[in-house]
Structures are given as structure tokens and as C-alpha cells.
Structure 1
Amino acid sequence: MLSRTPTLALRAARIAPHVRAVRLPSARFNSTTPQSPSTVRRNAIVAGTLLAASAALYYYESEAMGLIGPNKTEPGFTVTINTSAGVKTWNFERKPEAELEAMLHENEGTTPVGRKGNPVVKWDTNFVASNEPSEDRSAGDIVPRGQAKGWWTTGDVQGKADHPGHRDLVLLSVIDGHAGDATSQLLSKTLHPTIALYLAGLQAGIVPGRSWYNKITDVLTWAKTWSPLNVSRVLQTAYVHLDDNICRTPINQLSTLLAAEDEVEARQKFVAVAQPAAAGAVTATAFVDAENDGLYVAVAGDCRAVAGWQAADGSWRCDVLSEDQMGDNPREVARMRSEHPSYEADTVIRNGRVQGGLQPTRAFGDAVYKWTSAQSAAVADVFRAEGAKPRASRPWNFTPPYVTARPEVTHRTLHNGDEKLKFLVLATDGLWDRITSEEATVLMAAYLANAKRPDVGKVTLAEEIKVKTTEPRPYPVEDLPGQGKRTDGQWAFEGDANAATHLIRNALGGGDRKLRGELLSLHGKVSRYMRDDMTVSVVFFDDEE
């Protein structure tokens, strides 16, 4: 919990280096030696004069050093956390307001599309790190399909109106790493090319999982192969095959490692290749198929996608396009228990986590939940020999794998009666830990109307922007705006040009600027206790030419 009162120790430590010592005149006396009234008055006057001079000197030097006064260093604060090692307290200084604002804006990015016929106008991205370095990543790509020169064209096509935007494919992903950033780094470079490769196969009539006979008939009637069902299969296959390559490569290289002439070099290469398998990452990918009026969202883990639809009468609908795949999701618990023998019912999920360890039930990497115990031990031996720390092998590892990268895929058409798709929010769980899907929709709807306005109460804004939600609501079902526990406080609209920044600002306290400053001033392990890395992409749609 963040304390709002500066500690005396912090205040003294901040002031002491800039205060000159002022020596008071000494007086030799003891309790048995009475002093005359004139002596007492004289000493009091001298002491009072010196104390006033000391205070004036302190104020002058403090002002010169930038310690007090308007827009100067903020007071310190304490953080007290009940850890596994007991209750611990840390002291922090609040960063100046200018530095806090710089943190909110330093990783912003806006990608305009500017291609006639492409329903995506632009996307805004931003991230604020908690881990050092951040374990989150994001990616965004336009795959333009050519009319006559093959399936896609190459080169920079953004902003070029002479390319047929109505045939574009747009891929956007947010990636949340854990146990390091090796997996998220790799996925940011390889996930979209892998998906594009499998989509090219579907364009050629190759449907994943089909028999040879069906593949031949598919080629003869390829126009029927590009369907929501088959596109969903492609997205799932691309995720799973990429993860198989990540996790199997280290195992396949073990025999090569043992036969290498230069053992040290071989170990170094092995550890580098194995890092993405040893770490892990959850991912959400949005795929926009302009030509076929399709929006797909594939999610493996607890990243989330939320769409905002506006009706002709101006009302809004929150459409949650994914479900958090975690160890406390009853559907995921049932699925995992059904995939393993009944004697593992109590160990597959323990305390809401996979084998008591990993919170998401679907992820790339996390190979200790996918390898056999012998394979994990062999990899761990190489890591230790190289001076690297391996992830601990899992208990009750009887019938791996226990974690899969196979995503759940949701499909929507871009046009839905009198409703218009206005935006899509893709974000890692650092955002969703602090605001709900419906709150994000309210914040975005109000932002589109007016990005700069005075702070507004959460209940007031919920009454102003009435948002209905698509039923049934996916897991987790949380309080709607203006209901339950989330009614206190205010939202902030500070004129952010980047919509992702607007959402992050409000997730970090909104109108409570003191809380925001404290959360952003944290660093080290304590920061991760209080907030996660936040990565947000906001995609804007418009069907106007």
C-alpha cells in the first residue's frame, strides 16, 4: 500500500545536505544553578534570533537548490508490502511532474495507414515499463495483396494511395513476456511473418489439417477455402507451429551440443537458442481482412481485445473479443483437467495456477511445462554449466504438455447493421489489472468526443456515455461502469494526442495525480509488486472513403 505521508527519515535525508550548521552560544549551567530573569530573557532573544536566521537561510538555500516552492521536488512516500519474507517497507521520492509526463509519452507511436479502401485509419501504441527492462512488446504490419503480381507486394506502402487498400491485410499484436523478455522479443519479429506465410498458403488453397484428397479439391475450388472457419484454423496453426519450433529446437540441438569440438562456444549458442523456450509470453493478435470484411482476434493467455461499436443513435456497445485464459477461469480449468488423467485432477491446477506455478494456461515458450522431466533436466545442466539460471522443472510432470500456445479465435464482420466499428483496444494485462473492458470503452468513447476536458467522476461519465455490453460477457465478468466497487474517483482527459496514452494515464490513477505520480516513481522489485508492464494498441476504423 502506498502511504501518502512523507517519512521523517526521507525528509531529513533530502534536506540535510543543503543546510548550514548554525552554532548556538553555549551556557554552562546545571539544574541547581538558578539564572537571573534578565539572563533568561537575553538567551531567549539570542536563540530566537538565531533560529529565525537559520530558517531564513534554509528557505533561501532550499529555493536555490529547487527543493521547495511551486513545481519543485515532490515529497517522498513509503510503500509497505506483505511479502513471503514478511512485512517490508521501502521509501521513495516522487519524481517531478515534468519527468512523470515524459515517462507517459516517451514510448508513444502513431501509424497512419492512408490507403483508400483500408478500413483501418491508424493505430496508436504506447507502453510504460515496470520490469527493468520491460518484458512487453508490440508489433504492427500491413500486408498488401497485389492485384496481378503475386499474393503480396513489398516495400513501404503506408500513406501511398496508389496501392489498393481494399485488399490489405493488417496484423497487430501485443505480447506480454514473463520470466524474461526473450520470448516476447522473438515473437515481435517472427509472429506476423509466420501468420502471413500460412495465410499465403490458404490463399493458394492449402487448409491446415486437411487430408491430401481434400487439399487437391480445395485447390480446384480455392475461392471456398478463404472462409472465417479456415482463417481461424490458419491463425491457430501459425501460433502452434511457431511455438513448436521455439520449444523443440533446443531439444533437437542437445545431441549436436554433445558432439561439438568447441564445447564452450556450443554451450553459448545453445543457451541463446533456448532462452525463448525457457522464458514465456502470452499474446493477442488482431487480423483485419479488408477485402472480406473480416476482423479476427487470436489470444493465447491473458492479453485482451475490446471493440467499441457506435450505433446510429450515438449509443455505444462494448464487445469483448477474448477471454482471459488463466488458472482461475473455470472453463480453462475444466479443459486442462479433461486433457490429463483423472489422478492429476488436483495437480494440473493448484491455487489458480498451472501446477501451482504459471498463471496463464496458454502461452508461447514456458517449455518446462511442455518438456519431459528428463528434457528439462538436460537443458538445465547446460544452463548451469554456462553460468545461466534455468527455470525449475515442474512437479507432478507426468503427462506433458500442460501449457499450449493454441489461441482461441473470435471473428466479427467489420459492418454490423446500423452499428459502426470505431476502435479496437489491444492491451496486456497490466492495463486490464487496473481498468475493466467496459471502462476502457467509456474512456475511448468520451475521448473521441473530447480529448481535453476537466476531470469527471466515474459515475458521472458512465451516465453520460451509456455503454451496453455484448452478452454473454467473457471471463472475467467485472463491475460495469458506475456499479460495484469501481465508482470512486475521477477520470482524467488531459488532451493526449495518443489514445493509448489516454488509457494508460487513467489506468494509473486517472484524476488521482498523486497516486499516478507514486506509481510511476516506483522502481526495482517494488514496482512489479504494485503494477505490471502496460502495453496498449488502439486501432481506429472508418468506412468512409
Structure 2
Amino acid sequence: MFTRQLMQAAPIAAHTRVAATRAWPSTTPIIRRSLATSRPNTSRASFRQHPPPPPQMHDVTPDTTRRNAIIAGILLSAALGAWYYETTTMGAYSKEPEFSVTVGRGAKTWSFPRKPMAELEQMMHQHEKTTSPGRKGNPVLRWDTNYVASNEPCEDRSAADVVPRGPARKSWWSWGAAPAENTDAVGSRDLVLVSVVDGHAGDATSKLLERTLHPTLALALAGLQAGIVPGASWYSNLADTLTWAKTWSPSNVAKTLQNAYVQLDDNICHEPIKMLPELLKTDDIVKTVETRHKFVALTEPASHGAVAASALVDAENKGLYVAVAGDCRAVAGWQRPDGSWRCDTLTEDQMGDNPKEVARMRSEHPVHEADTVIRNGRVQGGLQPTRAFGDAVYKWTTLQGEAIAAVFKDEGAKPRSIRPWNFTPPYVTARPEVTYRSLEGEDKLRFVVLATDGLWDRITSEEAALLVAGYLAHPKAEPISKEGLATEIPLALTEPRPYPVEALPGTGKRAKGTWAFDGDKNAATHLIRNAFGGADRKEFQELLSLHGPAARYFRDDMTVTVVLFDDEGKSSN
């Protein structure tokens, strides 16, 4: 017991020492929650009411000395054994008190042991990754990525790539001109692509997008650089090519990103339809089984679904583009010449409770479907995001959906059912909204946060910007109250604020709680840590100790990528 009390007291004693790193200068001291447990007091004093008097010098003999040494050795061995047991994963896990949660329609109760902090820290850092382009002229300094799963397996994915661009197109009259200066700046014409993907109803769509989304975007952008503008007539594209007209512009880049998203989704959802006749026309049982097995595997990305957000950094033209289909989100942090910060939410959540999305969807379908297109804030009462890859049951006709469901059942797989009121599909699109920002100007872009909705369920866009701004100044510092950080770093906002507009940091309910600055080397880990309770260690422990079906009631898969930009506008090798 003495060993346990000593081990419990150690963290508290360590906390009372003055931090070696710089603390937040204007914050008030924070009273921490006691770490003591509810175990009864069983100290040695309670077992020995009348201790014997100390031995006199004449009572000490060689025998008593030897006996005392043996007893001391036994006690020391026992203490060391208890310490070792309690510091191992098994001992710490078994000795931690349990907690219970009651959730669900049936009010089911689950009990979980609180995992030891060492295990949770390992969980926090398990998937983190930091990557630097390492190319002169590229404005991206590095990107930090991390994820913590709730689903088993995790349905989130992410991707990041640097796409070197070939030589710029020249006009016919400058064909023989000398090459531009600073040719040693190898990254000055780079394109940087960063995406986060949030799967649902399975992980087949998100796994496919992790491998195919960026190659699709890169190929489309290469076509634009060659003079092919999506939606333009063939003779217009031919004329642009022959005259070396400049086709790379913010509007054309946005069209290219949108077209690439839609074309990729069409391939995912409609290729299975093309395979159906081949599957149904053969009478060869063996061939039918093989074809059916292949068909189900290829159709799973259409049957499942995923939302996505992609950021494109154009080094040559000093531009930032963000495309989003669904409820992933991107938030940018700009630093002004005086050192103050501005939060710029670059995306709007495309969900069934967003009034703009409801109006758009109703405008795309007959008036008599006004009450069924969106029901209870969901597409036809089922899907929450209004834009997504896959989710083909909202895009196929009823006849197509029933034919594919029959093949799934024959293969022993569970199909998603076509929704009712399926009169004029598609009801869901992968066409993204694209936002453009110039990187030129007095305000300097310092970071962009891209994350799945697991993060945004727990913190706001403005809180994420505030946390990263604070992290860049003080990666490691004493915990600070939410109200204190909002006061310490005043945050201007880019208006109008997109949906959903939430309470500002440090106000109302957003003023309660404490942020943690634990010195994480990965900015994405820093955000995830604070989304899981920050400096509230009890909340942090309990949220991360949840697993299985109960976890989804409290936290979703959480994937975060933080793109950090060089504050001087150029990266080095």
C-alpha cells in the first residue's frame, strides 16, 4: 500500500515544481483534480496502536542484526515486487478503477477499466507522422498527420503528395526566351495535395480513395496545364492549345477539381452497373461464382461511402484551393504583420441540416419530393452528409439497386437497401465546393487544418485555430484555461462565417475547461489530445478507454492533418 501511495503522490509532487519551459504569462493558477482513489486508508499507523519502544544498545546482538537484515531484505524485495507489478501494463490496468456508461435506445450499460496513462500515450502517438517536402521554393514547411480510431477497423484515411510540375507553357513569341531565374528553386512550381477521407457504412470507399483520389486530381490538373479546360468545347480547347493561351486560372482550377471528384465517383458507382449483364448472361456455375465474387469485391466501394476534403497548394501561382464533399472541414490560420491571428474557415459542412444544402437538393428534384428529399435532417431520412463518394443506393435506380442487392445476397454479403421515395436519383453527389485563397498579401498563411468530423464534433473551427496558434508559440507550457487562451491570443474572424456558426472560444460553455500544451512534436496530436479533454486527465482517460460499440456514442474516428507553412514564404532543403 505504501508503494501505491508513493507512486500516486509522485506525479502530484512533480506537478508542484516550477515548469522548466515558459508558462503562459497572464494565466491564473489552475487547481487540478485530485488523483487520489477511493481506497480505504490502510496505512501502517492504523494497524499498530502502541508501537514498542526503540531497542537499547545493549539489546543489539549479532543474531538480532542478522535477523533484522533478513527482514529488511524481505520487505525491500516485496516493495520492489509490488512496484514492478503496479507499473506493468497488467498491474496498472487491473488496479485502475472501472467506470460505466449507459447509452443506446435500450439504455445498455458498459463497464470499462481506465487504461493507464502510459498505454494511452502510446495510443496517441501510434499513428502520428511528420513529413517535409524538403524542396526549395515550396511554401509548405511540413505536414503533421495523426489519427485515433473509434470504429474497428478505422474508417478514416488520409493522403499527402508533392507533385512536381513540368516546365511552364510558353507563348509562341517567347519560345526562344532564356529560362527564368532561380532555376535552383526546385520546388517553386510544385503542387502539394493533402486530403482527409471519412468513410461510413464500411471502409471500402475510403480505402480506395486513399490510393486513387490524388492520382485522379494530379492527372486532371496535368490536363489543365496542357490546355484542357473541363466543360469547354473541343474546338475551344484546341484553339487554346494552338495559341498557347493561359488556361491555368483560379476558376479553371476549381472546375478541374470538381470535375475530377465527379468523374472518380462516376467510375466507382457506375462501373458495377456495366458488369451486371456479363454476370447475368452466363449459365456456367463455376464462372458465375467467380464472377459474382469479383463483382461484390469491386462493388463494395460503391456500396459503402466516404466524404472528403482536399487542399491544393500551388507554389508557382501562390494559391491555395480547398475542395470538400461532405462534412470534413478545413480551417486556415493567418498571421498579421502585428503578430495577431485570423481564423479562416475554408469549408462549409454539407449536411442535411444545412439550410443551403436543403434548398439546393429540393431545387434539384420535383416539388412533390420536397418532404422526402430531406427528412429529419438526413437524405431521405438516412444519410447525414448530402455530398459523398459512393453511397450508390442514393444514386442507382430502384431496379439497378435491387439487381445488385440480389447478387450480394447470393454471395452471402449484406447489401445496403435502396431508400424509399427513390423517384428521381441521384440524391447524393460527390461534386465538391471549392474555395480559393491567394497566398500573396500582408497576412501570412501559417497553417491549414484538415480533419474528419470526429475532431469537429468536439472542438470548433475557431478553437482549432487558437490551439495551433498557441502551439506554434508554446508547444510545451503549463495548462491554460479555455477562457485564458482566448484572452491571451485574440483571434479575428473571416466573415461571413460558414455553417455551422458556433460559439466563439472562451465564451459561454466554451469558456469551461482547460487546454493542454504537453510538448507534442506533432501538431495533429496536439489537436487530438485537446479534443479528448485537454488537461482534464479523467475525461481524457475515460474517452480513450472506451472501445467497441459504446465508443461510437462518445467519439468518432478522428483523423487530422496540419499543414504548416514557412513564415518567410520559402522552404529549404
TM-score, normalised relative to structure 2: 0.81
Task: Say yes or no: does 1:126 pair with 2:150.
Answer: no
- The Cα of 1:529 is off from its aligned counterpart by 1.2
Higher relative contact order (CA 8 A, sep 6+): 2
Q: How does 1:194-213 map to 2 (within 5 A)?
A: 194-213=216-235
Which residue identity is paired with 1:342? V
Q: Deviations over 1:138-187 (max 9, x none)?
A: 0000110133899xxxxxxxxxx966100101100000000000000000
Task: Say yes or no: does 1:242 pair with 2:264.
Answer: yes
Distance 1:147 1:349, change over 3 A: same
Contact map agreement 1:363 1:403 (CA 8 A) in 2: yes
What secondary structure is seen at the aligned counterpart in 2 of 1:474? coil
> What residue number does 2:276 align with?
254
Task: Say yes or no: does 1:380 pair with 2:380.
Answer: no
Distance 1:101 1:237, change over 3 A: same
* Alignment counterpart, residue 112 of structure 1, candidates 108, 132, 143: 132
> What residue number does 1:169 align with?
191
Q: How does 1:421-440 map to 2 (within 5 A)?
A: 421-440=445-464
> What residue number does 1:528 align with?
552
Q: How does 1:411-430 map to 2 (within 5 A)?
A: 411-416=436-441, 418-430=442-454
Distance 1:415 1:392, change over 3 A: same
What secondary structure is seen at the aligned counterpart in 2 of 1:165? coil
- The Cα of 1:215 is off from its aligned counterpart by 1.5
- In 2, the alpha carbon distance for the partners of 1:5 and 1:115 equals 48
Extract unaligned runs of 5+ from structure 1: 12-57, 151-160
> What residue number does 2:383 align with?
358
* Alignment counterpart, residue 319 of structure 2, candidates 294, 305, 311: 294
> What residue number does 1:514 align with?
538
- In 2, the alpha carbon distance for the partners of 1:487 and 1:234 equals 42
Which residue identity is paired with 1:406? R
* Identity over aligned pairs, percent: 68
> What residue number does 1:472 align with?
496
Q: How does 1:90-169 map to 2 (within 5 A)?
A: 90-147=110-167, 164-169=186-191
- The Cα of 1:220 is off from its aligned counterpart by 3.1
> What residue number does 2:564 align with?
540
Which residue identity is paired with 2:462? E
Aligned residues: 481
Q: Deviations over 1:307-333 (max 9, x none)?
A: 000001010000000000000000000
* Alignment counterpart, residue 466 of structure 2, candidates 435, 442, 446: 442
> What residue number does 1:29 align with?
none
Task: Say yes or no: does 1:217 pair with 2:242.
Answer: no
Distance 1:519 1:231, change over 3 A: same
Q: Deviations over 1:367-397 (max 9, x none)?
A: 0000001111111001111010001210000
What secondary structure is seen at the aligned counterpart in 1 of 2:429? coil
- The Cα of 1:257 is off from its aligned counterpart by 1.0
- In 2, the alpha carbon distance for the partners of 1:68 and 1:294 equals 51
Extract unaligned runs of 5+ from structure 2: 1-33, 40-77, 171-182
Which segment is superposed worse, 342-351 or 260-269?
A: 260-269
- In 2, the alpha carbon distance for the partners of 1:120 and 1:68 equals 42
Contact map agreement 1:427 1:534 (CA 8 A) in 2: yes
> What residue number does 2:46 align with?
none
What secondary structure is seen at the aligned counterpart in 2 of 1:538? strand
Contact map agreement 1:71 1:97 (CA 8 A) in 2: no
Contact map agreement 2:141 2:565 (CA 8 A) in 1: yes
Distance 1:172 1:222, change over 3 A: farther
> What residue number does 1:74 align with?
96
What secondary structure is seen at the aligned counterpart in 2 of 1:196? helix
> What residue number does 2:305 align with?
280
Distance 1:162 1:272, change over 3 A: farther
> What residue number does 1:46 align with?
none
Distance 1:266 1:512, change over 3 A: same
Q: How does 1:377-416 map to 2 (within 5 A)?
A: 377-416=402-441
Distance 1:368 1:295, change over 3 A: same
TM-score, normalised relative to structure 1: 0.85
- The Cα of 1:213 is off from its aligned counterpart by 2.6
> What residue number does 1:493 align with?
517
CA RMSD of aligned residues (A): 2.4
